[in-house]
Structure formats: structure tokens, C-alpha cells
Amino acid sequence: MSAGAAEWTDPDSLDIATLSRRDGEKWAVAKDGVLPAWVADMDFPIAPAIREAVLRRVDTDLGYPAWYDMSEGGPLGEVFARRMHRRHGFAADPTHVRLFTDINQAMQVVLQLGTAPGDGVALHTPVCPPFEQTIGKLGRVPRTVPIRLREGEWRIDIDRLRDEVMGRQGPPCRALFLVNPHNPTGRVLRRDELLEIAALAVEHDLLVVVDEVHADLVHPGHRHIPFASLSDEIAERTVTLTSGSKTFNLAGVRCAVAHIGVKAVREAVDDHQGLLFGQVSALAVDALKAAWTGADGWLDQVMTVLRRNRDTVAEHLPPQVGCVLPEATYLAWLDCRALGLGEEPSDFFAREAKVLLMPGSLFGSEGEGFVRLNFATPPPVLAELLRRIRGALGC
């Protein structure tokens, strides 16, 4: 059994009363009697290895870390490279790793240094906020490419992507922002799809920034392929972004990794990092290192619960609600357009079901009429969520 497996706490032991006392954003914004299933935080206990690492740091030394002046991979370069090789077969270069507080900051910095104002940046929608807004605030032009539901599967329109990249209806693109596994649909791109995108990136000399934060949350029958692993040529134009925020529920820790294969961008980051971007904390580094080296047993058991919960969602959603089972993540993208619930279905569920869901409209115009449900919660809590949703719809 993997390290940490014996210390797993049964998620069924966490009831609504216990969870509602948490002061994190997910539960704190929910009024009394309302169940939150909106923001992408899990409700499970923290992995013991992470807890022990943080307490060890608190008990020993909270002064300036010795690695503050390190570049060339920093304190997590080797850890990241070993994990990527072990779990995904990607020979990452540890010296290409740089640390940021979160994925959104890393994306901002990379696009600020790797593109110019007015450049187009292609991205697929629906897309998790605030990525599209961030691109616009940087003075770049978001070129959105809708993901379409075809034959029961969310698919990328490569022809539409090519049109946007070439600038047939706006500025040509200098960069592509890719989210794989995809949030909110949970789609995991196959190798043939990634190769099509890679060929387009080479043809048009694109900087590719890839958010792979859900890579370790892939369900059976599917496999995550790091974009940078496709070839050396692709690796040299790709920036891979990840963190422990989703897999290990560490969003509040504030530590993300950017594997910057693009030499010019990497050098530009090094020229600015200590001056403008700040530093991650010693606690954050210790927590992420512990997650990636000692918490896979915990993750294995979390994935067992998530698979069971995913099946529960599929079995107990009202038939009028459209849902393609996610291939990764703990997020269900629910199509409520046939229900006649008005412009924002999440308002209906908050009012009538006392359940908070993420409004689909926050993910762009393609999300209108949808809601996102987070099923990373104890099974009894999920059962109550679904009971309320069905009741509100008269099922």
C-alpha cells in the first residue's frame, strides 16, 4: 500500500454540521441550511504527510528559507521532475522549474513576458474564471474557441482554432492557453488531439501555456499526456503549469510550479522574479513537497471516493439535466437549458434547493444555461445535495 494509506480518515465520518463550521470560502459563504458545491475545494481531511510537514516547519524554523536565492529549479525542481516521470512518463527538466503563488499568477507572468500588447491568445471556452479576463487585462486579445458536444463527447474544433490562430477575424495569435484536463467539462485530450494542436503550434510559432492542475485526478479508462512530453520541439515552446491546489486541496497554501521550456521566457522570468513577483512561503513549499512525495496513498483513496461519487451523480441526476461524465476532475458540468429555469439556473438551485452551484455564465457565453457541481464531498453529503436538486425539480 502507498505511503499514507493507513492514515486515511473515512470521509463518511464528516457530516454537514462538522463541515459547516469550516471558515474557508466554500462553506463560509453558504448561509445556514445551504449546502455549497460550487468552488473547486474538496471536503476531505488533509493528507497526514502534508499536515506533518507543515507542523514540522512551524516547530523548527520560519526564518528566511535557504532556497530564496535559488533559481535553476529551486526547492521543488527535482521533486516535480521525479513526479512527472513517475506518474506521466514526462522527462521534465528540473532546472526549468520556477515557483509562483498560483497558476493564475504564473500565467500572467508568462504572457506578460512572452507576448506583446495586442497579441492574440487563443483559449477554449467554457473556461474557468478568471483566465479570459486576465488575458484581456494584460492588454492581449482573447481569441475564444468553443468546445462542442459531439456524439456524447466534448471536442475541440481544430478548424476553428486554426482560424483564430491565423487571425481571420481579429489579431493573429502569438500564444495558446490550453487547459487539460479541462475545467469545467472534465475532458482529457487524447494523443491524436494533442498532436493536432501541437502541429498548429509549430506551424504558427505559438507559445503554448498549459494548465495541467487536474492531471492527477484522471478517472479509469483515460490517461493524461503532458503536452510538453509530445516531443523535444514541443517542450521547447511549452510552459506547463500545475500545483497541489486541486489534487491535494491546497489552494490556500499558495504555491504553483511553472515548467518553462521556452528559454527566452525562462530567462526573462529570472531577470524579474525576485523584484516583481514575490516569493512563495516556506510552509507552501514544504506542503507541496510532502504532497508530491508522501501523499499518494491518500490520493489513491480519495480517487476511489471520487469515482463512487461520480457514479452517484450520473445515477441520481434528474433525467432532464444533461451531463457527460467527466473523464477527470471532481466537477460535473450540468446542462440545465431544457429545464426553463431562466438565465441563471444556479439562482434557482440556491433559492429552491438550498444548494450553491457555480454559475455556468462565469465560464463565458458557452456556459450560459449550465451549472458546475463539485462532487468532492462525503457520500452522505452528496446524497443530500442530489436529493435537494431532485426535489426542487419535482423529481
Question: What pLDDT score does 342 carry?
Answer: 86
Contact by Cβ (8 Å): 343, 360 = no
Grid cell digits, residue 116: 506583446
The domain covering 16-46+295-393 belongs, at the CATH homologous superfamily level, to Aspartate Aminotransferase, domain 1 (3.90.1150.10)
Confidence at 70, pLDDT banded by 50, 70, 90 = low
Higher-confidence position of 10 and 128? 128
Confidence at 382, pLDDT banded by 50, 70, 90 = very high
Strand (E) or helix (H) holding 282: helix 282-294
Q: Pick the range with the lowest mean pLDDT from 2-16, 45-59, 172-186, 213-227.
A: 2-16
Query: Angle at Cα 103 formed by Cα 382 and Cα 293, nearest 5°?
Result: 75
Query: Angle at Cα 370 formed by Cα 368 and Cα 373, nearest 5°?
Result: 145
Q: How far is residue 48's CA from residue 45's CA, in Å, rounded to a whole number?
A: 8
Q: What residue type is assigned to position 150 of the chain?
A: R
Tens of pLDDT along 186-221?
999 999 999 999 999 999 999 999 999 999 999 999
- Domain ranges, ordered by start, for the chain: 16-46+295-393, 58-294
Q: How far is residue 196's CA from residue 217's CA, in Å, rounded to a whole number?
A: 24
Matching residue, cell 460550487:
38
Question: What pLDDT score does 274 carry?
Answer: 66
Tens of pLDDT along 234-251?
999 999 999 999 999 999
Q: What residues have CB less than 8 Å from 128, skipping those under 6 apart?
A: 179, 183, 184, 363
User: What is the DSSP code string of 68-125?
Assistant: GG--TTGGGHHHHHHHHHHHH-----GGGEEEESSHHHHHHHHHHHHS-TT-EEEEEE
Confidence at 359, pLDDT banded by 50, 70, 90 = very high
Average pLDDT over the chain, rounded to an integer: 95
Is 288 exposed, middle or buried, given 0-12, 13-18 or 19+ CB atoms closer than 10 A? buried
Question: What pLDDT score does 68 carry?
Answer: 77
Q: What residues have CB less than 8 Å from 78, skipping those under 6 apart?
A: 94
| Percentage above 70 pLDDT, the chain | 96
* CA-based end-to-end distance of the chain: 42
Tens of pLDDT along 250-283?
999 999 999 999 999 999 999 987 667 888 999 9
Q: What residues have CB less than 8 Å from 85, skipping those under 6 apart?
A: 91, 92
Higher-confidence position of 145 and 67? 145
Tens of pLDDT along 295-350?
999 999 999 999 999 999 999 999 999 999 999 999 999 999 999 998 899 999 99
| CATH fold for domain 58-294 | Aspartate Aminotransferase; domain 2 (3.40.640)
Grid cell digits, residue 330: 471532481
Determine the average pLDDT of the residues in 11-36: 92
Q: How far is residue 297's CA from residue 311's CA, in Å, rounded to a whole number?
A: 22
